[in-house]
Structure 1
Amino acid sequence: MRTDSETDPSLDYVQRVNRAIDHVLAHLDQPLSLEVVARAASFSPFHFHRVFKSLTGETLNAFIKRVRLERAVSMLGRTQGRSLTEIALACGFGSSSDFSRSFKQRFGVPPSAFDVQAYRRDRRERWQSTVADPEYRHLLQRLPPGENPDGFEVELLRLPPRRVAYIRVPDPFSSLGAVTGAAERLVEWAEARGVAGGTWYGYMWDDPEVVAHEDCRYDVAVEVDEVRPEGEVGRFDFPAMTVAKLEIKGAIDLEQRALDWIYATWLPRSGMVPTDQPCFEVWHGRPFAHGYEHFELDLHLPIRSLLAVGTDRG
């Protein structure tokens, strides 16, 4: 039986706009014309720019420029040994001067004068006020660099390519119900097709310390061999990658401390840098199988050797 989400024509537009976003994120360092992105979404360019803006609130050009600058901010704070020119090219700017001009228009100062840590602190405070009631906000306080009260240990893994079916949740921090609802719908979809036994993932495409929470995107996903995108369910193919793995068995504060530790303490000492792929969760069983306050999952941070920067993307 087909669900309402599969027969609602508006969800087909959502899925196709998600394909366009996926294409942009996967090719951010390349030219991204309206024609190319519209083709990825199976729209004519004439109609696509109107559809994209109506569903995202941004024009395609504004979206591309924003995510390029946000990726640059992430790289400024978490990528060692890369010049501003290398960051500019990696984020799709034609030159360092184009990058500096666009950066100053957005942030008020050129990248060379940007205080990325102050910017992250401010975003963190805004994000905390969004995701937690005042009495629980202390659970999301930043773990200072160098501290590891939970005894986190990293395991390096090499993962093969994988294909996932996903449902995307915009602004996931505003409502846990939006994320759990998407998980329930995808589980129902997967059970109906006999693929619910695959590995389940959660992909956070955006860093809330860089990206405004309302612009963040989270994907609930399940690994599949084959899938035909339909309704709100999309498909994404991930390449082989090396990841730093941390096991999490606890509440949201434990997961947040793990993220703080791996980025601020482990990563700078590791000789590794993050790749362009998102950090993601690998659930033990199905999403929220252990409830909504206790999580059992592995955090995976895609990384590559600092020596390999500029030679590959995975």
Structure 2
Amino acid sequence: MKRVTFEKRAKISNDVMNYIYKYIDTNINIDELCLELKISKFHLHRIFKEEFGKNIYESIKSIRLEKAANLLITNRYSTITDIAKMTGYSSQTSFLRSFKQRFLMTPKEWKNGGYKEYSNKIVEKISTNSQAIDFSNIEPSIVKMPEIKGYYIRHKGYDKSIKKTWQKLQTWIYTNDIKEYKQMALHHDNPIITPLEDCQYIAIVVLEDKEKASLDFLLPSLIIPKGVYAKFSLSGKYGDVIKLIQWVYHTWLIESGYETTPNPSYTIYHKNHFLSDDGEFILDYYLPIRYV
């Protein structure tokens, strides 16, 4: 496959995935997407399937259910019907059936605590530190964040193989002589709900040099939405981040009086454990919130 063809296919696939996440709360129309991307439906489905290993409709269904599972935990003032609508379901019956098929329990059972055992099993798989971490002394700050444009590589799976993706981005940084930048990760999927092998982890470089930012790079770009976020600062090692995310969703958010939104959470690294020699990190984790 020619390089230009490979890059075009990768861009189409990433554009489709970004579109799905952006409009997951709506009735996503593939015909409109084809018009926007100027590609036939046949080729769109084929390219997406080859890139991600499943068809577009399977991906939409999976993302809807994972978003719903997350909102059922955190948005205690929203009804199950509200959650279904927020994640693009027009029929509550269809939502109930799909949810039970995916999580082996009803939305009500999940909301009433069934999620805890489910997520504990996922966290145990990735954490090398079996000891519990006390996050109760972390006091988040509430911040208003602007839109952020970044160049990215999408990585499937939430595990140590993410290091290879960051090494590619680091090579890209050196090759393009980029001096001023931030390293970020966009968490489209909640790794305490989504099977780790299916998580979409987006490794991002944000250019802070205005001259460099105006150049046309081969890597795809995305816009992280502006909004109000709870910012949690943490230092640690591999496996600690997922424990923080679990605490944020399962404890802090429920007790705080805030609710989260369908927008993704993200991380800004001050020290990236996937690239640091000692395997340790310093980061800020941003959770989108609203007050009901």
**2: CA distance between counterparts of 1:229 and 1:97?**
46
String of CA shifts for 1:205-255, please: whole Å, max 9, x gaps: 21222212221011110113446463xx32111222111112212223543
| Distance change (3 Å), C-alpha of 1:38 and 1:288 | same
Tell me the residue number matched to 1:205: 188
Question: Does residue 236 in structure 1 map to residue 222 in structure 2?
Answer: yes
For residues 11 and 112 of structure 2, the distance between their equivalents in structure 1, rounded to whole angstroms, comes to 34
1:139-288 mapped onto 2 (5 Å cutoff): 139=131, 148=135, 151-173=137-159, 176=160, 178-224=161-207, 225-226=213-214, 228=216, 230=218, 233-284=219-270, 288=274
2:8 corresponds to 1:12? yes
| 1:22 alignment partner in structure 2 | 18
SS of structure 1 residue aligned to 2:181: coil
Residue 276 (structure 2) pairs with residue 293 (structure 1): no
Alpha-carbon displacement from aligned partner over 1:249-289 (angstroms, at most 9, x marks no partner) = 22235434432332233222322111222222111156745
Aligned pair count?
287
Distance apart, 1:169 and its partner CA:
0.7
User: Are 1:124 and 2:120 matched, yes or no?
Assistant: yes
Q: Partner of 1:284: helix, strand, or coil?
A: strand
* 1:138 correspondence with 2:121: no
- Per-residue deviation, residues 129-167 of structure 1 (Å, max 9, x unmatched): 3x35xxx3515x5x5xxx546x21111111111111111
Q: Distance in 2 between matches of 1:209 and 1:194?
A: 37
Shifted more, 57-66 versus 262-271: the winner is 262-271
1:311 is matched with which residue? none
Q: 1:288 to 1:70 in 2, by over 3 A?
A: closer
1:67 match: 63
Give how far 1:290 is off.
3.8
Counterparts of 2:30 and 2:166, CA distance in 1: 32
TM-score by length of 1: 0.80
Which ranges of structure 1 fall in alignment gaps of 5 or more residues? 308-314
For residues 31 and 18 of structure 2, what CA distance do their matches in structure 1 show? 15
1:203–1:219: 8 Å Cα contact kept in structure 2? Answer: yes
Code of the aligned partner of 1:222: V
Closer, same or farther: CA 61–127 of 1 in aligned 2, 3 Å: same
**Cross-structure match for 1:312:** none
Residues 13 and 117 of structure 1: is their aligned pair in 2 closer, same or farther, counting only changes over 3 Å?
farther
AA in 1 matched with 2:40: S
Partner of 1:158, secondary structure, is: strand
Sort the Cα spacing of 1:126 and 1:104 in 2 relative to 1 into closer, same or farther, 3 A. Answer: closer
Q: Which residue, out of 75, 88, 94, partners 2:84?
A: 88
Q: Unaligned stretches of 5+ in structure 2?
A: 208-212
Letter in 2 for 1:199: K
Report the TM-score when normalising by structure 2.
0.86
CA 1:256 to 1:31, structure 2 compared with 1: closer, same or farther past 3 Å? closer
Cα contact 1:124–1:208 (8 A) shared by 2: no
Displacement after TM superposition at 1:107 (Å): 4.1
* Pair 1:98-2:94 in alignment: yes
**Which deviates further from its counterpart, 118-127 or 62-71?**
118-127
